[in-house]
């Protein structure tokens, strides 16, 4: 290893990787630098590549650290080494993009040098982009749900997978939830895998109705949401060993099922995971040995359809799908059971939360009746960045204390809009979801 100016040169997998600005702090509270991030991914490369290697990856970049703005980058940078592999993907929009396919530790180090904290692999191999080789079960707890309940639902997931002939491989998400993967044969299309995931989510909900839900709309959820739409094409989630943008730099940790009952998400960080990896290796080392079949779940899906339980909503960026129910939030229906009001929209989450605190101060009696799950904080993903919307469900507030809808505070359009765009949006539909601003260039 040698240093050169503001670079640190590392030799990784026989290649020289120049780490630019190596002492740049990405995690202010913990003090971890870009060089720390690069060395982390080198240390856990074998495991990280088992989850993300050989697959197209979206780059989730934090160039100014976790307290700065971040963005999703589908297109591989044009100024990349010739040995960085890419593959061209097509998206529901009809556009295409060349995404990075890491194959070795050098590629992971190169990605980390871009301040790419998370590995976001697609559920397909670069050699076959049309047939996923894994079913992804994403356990996403609603606000106020404790980690213990996530673990309970994970055990229900484990048993349910086994009953349908699938082998589950659990890991912490690195945030509040948990992921369980099941390797499958490369025989089924994205719509078929999503159908299987939806049937599975509904089956877990049937087995544990007080703990889990398959409901797509946030105002209908409770407990732990099984996000079946993570299996739709062009959806990615943080892969195994990904570093998450949390103050303690916690990571997505592969587990055994015996570890699920006692683990805590904060046990696994950028600092602690390399030692765990050296001592016990990759808990998912056997994940590729026995691909399973989706046929039992697809048969369950067919039974659901015969019983009148058809498709469920797709993500908003997808065109209306055959058999999909009306894509209308329950709160927007005339007979809605969910009295929602919108508080504000902002480019930065902290600005939106500040607006929520101002609303609380104006309506203390109503705020006192709110439960954690009544606060709906939505990260709205735009073309290149996210923005935040905050809504409040007044279902637990007595009728005589429910505030009426007020002008949004703050009321900011997504980043990249012109002043005229924002004014038109505010004037025409201040409470409507704004349209996506599409750049003219291809992604």
Percent of the chain with pLDDT over 90: 68
pLDDT given at position 193: 98
Q: What is the DSSP string of 318-368?
A: SPPPTTPPP---GGGSTT-S--EEEEEEESSHHHHHHHHHHHHHH-HHHHT
Map residue 46 onto helix, strand or coil: helix
pLDDT at 433: 42
Instruction: Output the pTM of the full model.
Output: 0.78
Q: How many Å apart are CA 212 and CA 163, to the nearest integer?
A: 18
Positive or negative: CA dihedral 101, 6, 248, 282 = positive
* Predicted confidence band of residue 337 (pLDDT cuts 50, 70, 90): low
CA distance linking residue 276 with residue 253, whole number of Å: 10
**Do the Cβ atoms of 21 and 6 come closer than 8 Å?**
yes
Residue 160 DSSP one-character state? H
At 408, list the tokens.
């949004």
Mean pLDDT along residues 7-30: 96
pLDDT in tens, 299-317: 999 999 999 999 999 988 7
pLDDT band at 345; cut points 50, 70, 90: very high
Residue 154 C-alpha from the chain's centroid: 17
pLDDT tens digits along 373-423 = 888 888 776 555 678 898 999 888 888 888 888 889 898 865 544 444 444
Say whether the peptide bond before residue 246 is cis (omega within 30 degrees of 0). Answer: no
**pLDDT average, residue stretch 62-88:** 94
How far is the CA of 146 from the CAs of 176, 181, 349, in angstroms?
Answer: 9, 22, 22
Q: In which residue are the tokens 């429910």 written?
A: 402
- Nearest 5°: the CA angle 269, 137, 300 is 165
User: How deeply is 209 buried, as exposed, middle or buried, from its count of CB atoms within 10 A (0-12, 13-18, 19+)?
Assistant: exposed
Report the pLDDT value the prediction gives residue 413, as an integer from 0 to 100: 63
Tokens linked to 214: 């398959």
Condensed to tens digits (0 to 9), the pLDDT of residues 141-160 reads: 998 999 999 999 999 999 99
Whole-angstrom Cα distance, residue 158 to residue 385? 34
Q: Across-strand partners of 3?
A: 8
Q: What is the DSSP letter of 392?
A: E
Q: What is the pLDDT of residue 349?
A: 85
- Picking from 287, 264, 268, the residue whose alpha carbon sits closest to that of residue 276 is 268
């Amino acid at each position: 290893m040698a240093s050169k100016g503001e670079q640190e040169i590392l030799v990784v997998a026989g290649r020289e990787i120049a780490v630019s600005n190596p002492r740049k702090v990405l995690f202010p509270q913990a003090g971890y630098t870009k060089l720390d991030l690069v060395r982390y991914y080198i240390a856990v490369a074998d495991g990280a590549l088992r989850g993300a290697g050989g697959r197209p990856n979206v780059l989730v970049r934090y160039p100014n650290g976790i307290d700065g703005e971040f963005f999703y980058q589908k297109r591989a940078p044009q100024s990349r080494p010739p040995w960085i592999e890419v593959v061209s993907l097509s998206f529901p929009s009809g556009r295409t993009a060349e995404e990075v396919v890491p194959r070795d530790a050098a590629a992971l180090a190169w990605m980390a040098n871009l301040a790419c904290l998370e590995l976001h692999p697609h559920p397909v191999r670069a050699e076959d982009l049309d047939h996923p080789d894994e079913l992804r079960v994403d356990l996403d707890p609603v606000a106020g749900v404790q980690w213990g309940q996530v673990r309970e639902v994970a055990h229900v997931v484990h048993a349910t997978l086994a009953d349908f002939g699938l082998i589950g491989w659990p890991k912490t998400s690195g945030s509040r939830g948990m992921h369980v993967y099941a390797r499958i044969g490369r025989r089924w299309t994205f719509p078929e895998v999503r159908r299987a995931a939806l049937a599975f989510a509904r089956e877990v909900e049937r087995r544990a109705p007080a703990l889990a839900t398959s409901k797509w709309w946030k105002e209908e959820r409770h407990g732990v949401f099984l996000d079946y739409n993570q299996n739709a094409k062009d959806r990615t989630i943080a892969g195994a060993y990904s570093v998450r943008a949390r103050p303690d730099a916690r990571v997505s940790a592969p587990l055994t099922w015996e570890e699920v009952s006692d683990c805590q998400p904060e046990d696994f960080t950028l600092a602690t995971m390399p030692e765990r990896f050296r001592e016990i290796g990759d808990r998912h080392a056997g994940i590729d040995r026995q691909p399973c079949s989706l046929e039992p779940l697809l048969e369950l899906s067919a039974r659901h359809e015969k019983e009148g339980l058809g498709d469920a909503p797709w993500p908003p960026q997808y065109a209306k799908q055959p058999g999909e129910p009306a894509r209308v939030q329950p709160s927007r229906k005339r007979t809605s059971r969910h009295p929602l009001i919108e508080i504000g929209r902002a480019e930065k989450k902290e600005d939106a939360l500040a607006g929520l605190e101002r609303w609380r101060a104006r309506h203390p009696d109503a705020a006192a009746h709110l439960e954690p799950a009544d606060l709906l904080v939505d990260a709205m993903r735009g073309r290149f960045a996210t923005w935040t919307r905050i809504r409040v469900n007044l279902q637990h507030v007595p009728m005589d204390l429910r505030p009426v809808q007020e002008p949004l505070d703050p009321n900011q359009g997504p980043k990249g809009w012109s002043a005229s765009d924002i004014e038109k949006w505010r004037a025409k539909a201040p409470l409507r979801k704004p349209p996506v601003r599409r750049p003219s260039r291809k992604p």
